[in-house]
Amino acid sequence: MNAAPGLLQSRLESDISSATLAKQWRKLAFFYLAWCVRSESSKFIQGIAGRSALYCSAAALTLSLVPYTIIVMRKTNATLIEKAKIDPRLAEKEGGEIDTLVRSWISLNSFRSLLPLAGGVVGIVAAFS
């Protein structure tokens, strides 16, 4: 994977955390695997069961948590951030709303956490197909 040295270089130049580097590599790995098996174009044309399509699907599922967070969770996250800034005495008066927001965030985050899991499962299926 020729992009890995570039990832490492960008980490060193931009002070990116090791955890972020590992996440970037993992996401890049799915795309690399899809590229490696691209010669199976006949399988891809025959249906979505081709390994290349499965690896692309795995990558898309894994990466989809970013737009999901931005689009679906933005309002809840922004509201919770604003509530965290208010005076603790006022927060107690709004306790019911904050509890509802946290419950909503838990539900949204539970679904969001399934996206990379699904991507991993599809990636495993691709690896063994």
Return d(Cα 60, Cα 104) in angstroms, integer: 25
Q: How far is CA 35 from CA 57, 119, 121, in A?
A: 12, 16, 18
Count of domains in the chain? Answer: 1
Return d(Cα 125, Cα 129) in angstroms, integer: 6
Confidence (pTM): 0.60
pLDDT computed for residue 25 by the predictor: 67
Q: Identify whether 103 is part of a domain.
A: yes
**What single DSSP character describes residue 37?**
T
Torsion of CA 72, 73, 76, 81, to 10 degrees: -150
Q: Identify whether 122 is part of a domain.
A: yes
The pLDDT tens digits of the residues spanning 19-60 come to: 776 776 666 666 666 666 655 555 444 555 577 888 889 999
Q: Identify whether 20 is part of a domain.
A: no
